[in-house]
Amino acid sequence: MLFVHAHPDDESITTGGSIARYAAEGAHVTVVTCTLGEEGEIIPAELAELGSWAGDQLGGYRAGELAAAGRALGWTEHRYLGGIGRWRDSGMAGTPSAEHPRAFARGDADDQTGQLLAILDELRPEVLVTYDAHGGYGHPDHIRAHEITTAAFRRAGHVSRLFHTVTSRAATMRGLAALRRDPPPRLRVPADDELPTTPDDGITTRVDVTAHREAKFAALRAHATQVSVVGECFALSNEIAQPVPDTEYYVLADGPRADADTDLFGGLRP
């Protein structure tokens, strides 16, 4: 199976438990990261000068964090789309970073699709995972990752299923309710409608990652420039608490429906 993510830390936040679970079960798990996340905000004050507004060394630092997260999750291998540093974090739409000549979201989509297709043809995964058409929360790089993954899936012809990673509305509401009963120090628990979620009636596949929560939390801690782990939740630089459910959620975007809605490989493996 192969996961396509836009920036370092995306893989751990949205699919870390699934990566750890399937790797532990013996699947060949590959993660493709499209940029180095150079435009990310930095949580530790002592690392602030790594930022794009200063030394512009954050990308290289985050590559080290990503490698540590990979060790925690146990994936089989990792690739950078087009090679490390080929595409740069675009930042949010309308910001100066979006106009950088290597910005992922303004790059040639056919070129990027071809780079991903070459990986698919080499590794021949049965299952491919990326974001939905909105990119989860609208980041231009997430949307571009969705676009090129969808195009590469269709051109490859040998990948059985394409999934979108999504966030369950019901699970998020339960997690936020628990956080309100026992508020995490230093973090703000958001209102129910502040976090992007997907209605549960559209979710097709629920992967139980209970046994791999520690691996997921270890991977989140590895991304220390971007993520703070506090108890059983995490936060980005905005210090908004986000729950970590025992299940990760997916929508089957293309391919045959699984014979079980609890396994991305359902019916594909002996």
DSSP tag of 134: T
Kind of pairing, strands 77-80 and 127-130?
unpaired
Q: What are phi and psi of 56, to 5 degrees?
A: 55, 45
Answer yes or no: is 261 within a domain. no
What CATH number should be reported for the domain holding residue 22?
Answer: 3.40.50.10320
Residue 186 CA from chain centroid, whole number: 25
Answer yes or no: is 185 within a domain. no
Q: What is the pLDDT along the chain (270 residues), one digit of tens a residue?
A: 999 999 999 999 999 999 999 999 999 999 999 999 999 999 999 999 999 999 999 999 999 999 999 999 999 999 999 999 999 999 999 999 999 999 999 999 999 999 999 999 999 999 999 999 999 999 999 999 999 999 999 999 999 999 999 999 999 999 999 999 999 999 999 999 999 999 999 999 999 999 999 999 999 999 999 999 999 999 999 999 999 999 999 999 999 998 779 999 998 876
Give the type of residue at 72: A
Answer yes or no: is 176 within a domain. no
Answer yes or no: is 96 within a domain. yes
Give the type of residue at 59: G
The predicted structure's pLDDT at residue 236: 98
207 forms beta bridges with 248
The two tokens of residue 243 are 């729950």
140 forms beta bridges with none
The predicted structure's pLDDT at residue 153: 98
Contact of 136 with 167, CB cutoff 8 Å: yes
- The number of beta carbons lying within 10 Å of the beta carbon of residue 211 is 12
Answer yes or no: is 263 within a domain. no
Whole domain around residue 22: which residue ranges? 2-168+196-225+248-254
The predicted structure's pLDDT at residue 147: 98
**Of 149, 144, 124, the residue nearest 134 (C-alpha):** 144
**Tally of domains within the chain:** 1
Answer yes or no: is 191 within a domain. no
Q: How far is CA 247 from CA 18, 157, 212, in A?
A: 9, 30, 10
The predicted structure's pLDDT at residue 270: 66
What count of residues does the chain have? 270
The predicted structure's pLDDT at residue 269: 73
Q: Across the chain, where does the E strand assignment appear?
A: 2-5, 30-33, 77-80, 127-130, 161-166, 205-208, 228-230, 233-235, 242-243, 247-254
The predicted structure's pLDDT at residue 259: 73
Contact of 174 with 140, CB cutoff 8 Å: no
Answer yes or no: is 89 within a domain. yes
Contact of 143 with 179, CB cutoff 8 Å: no
Which residues, 6+ apart, have CB-to-CB distance to 100 below 8 Å? 88, 90, 106
pTM for the model stands at 0.97
Give the integer Cα–Cα distance in Å for 36 and 99.
16
Give the integer Cα–Cα distance in Å for 8 and 226.
9
Q: What is the maximal distance between C-alpha atoms in the chain?
A: 53
Residue with tokens 């699709």: 113
Answer yes or no: is 56 within a domain. yes
